[in-house]
Structure 1
Amino acid sequence: MLELRPCCECCGTDLPPASQEARICSYECTFCAACADGVLRGHCPNCGGELVRRPIRPAERLLKHPASTVRKVKTMGCTAG
């Protein structure tokens, strides 16, 4: 089950569960589209994996399987790996 993390790890931008701007790697590291497409150039700075659009969980399923509320933001932001 995807965690659906609440924000970009680089800049802290909020990424609610229905956001089409969320990008993730296979480890669920989460970034906004601006960071993913910009400084990260489509690759996760943590594992080097590809960043793809995070799927959207239907609202009725969020009741049973809510999104994470744990914010993970890099204190120094991100740089391309």
Structure 2
Amino acid sequence: MLELRPCCECCGTDLPPDSEAARICSYECTFCAGCAEATLAGRCPNCGGELVRRPIRPAARLLTHPAGTTRKLRPQGCAAVPQP
């Protein structure tokens, strides 16, 4: 089950569970759409994988499977990842 991490790892922008601006890679690294598209060119700076829109968990399901609360930020910030 996805953690639904609460913020962008680059800039710290809040990304609530219903955010359409959240982007994730296959390891669930989480970024806002602005950082994912403008800074990272759609590639995760951690693994180099594709960043895609994070699915939205229905509000009723959040009651039994809540979103994550641990904020993860890259201390060095984000830089573009070279394209493979």
Cα distance, 1:77 vs structure 2: 1.0
Corresponding residue SS for 1:74: coil
Q: Deviations over 1:8-67 (max 9, x none)?
A: 000000000000000000000000000000110000000000000000000000000000
Matches within 5 A, 1:1-80: 1-80=1-80
The unaligned stretches of length 5 or more in structure 2 are none
The unaligned stretches of length 5 or more in structure 1 are none
How much identity, in percent, do the aligned residues show?
77
- Quote the Cα distance in structure 2 between the aligned partners of 1:26 and 1:74: 18
TM-score, scaled relative to structure 1:
0.98
Count matched residues.
81
TM-score, scaled relative to structure 2:
0.95
Cα distance, 1:75 vs structure 2: 1.5
Cα distance, 1:76 vs structure 2: 2.0
Runs of 4 or more consecutive aligned structure 1 residues displaced over 2 Å after TM superposition = none
Corresponding residue SS for 1:20: coil
- Quote the Cα distance in structure 1 between the aligned partners of 2:2 and 2:39: 25
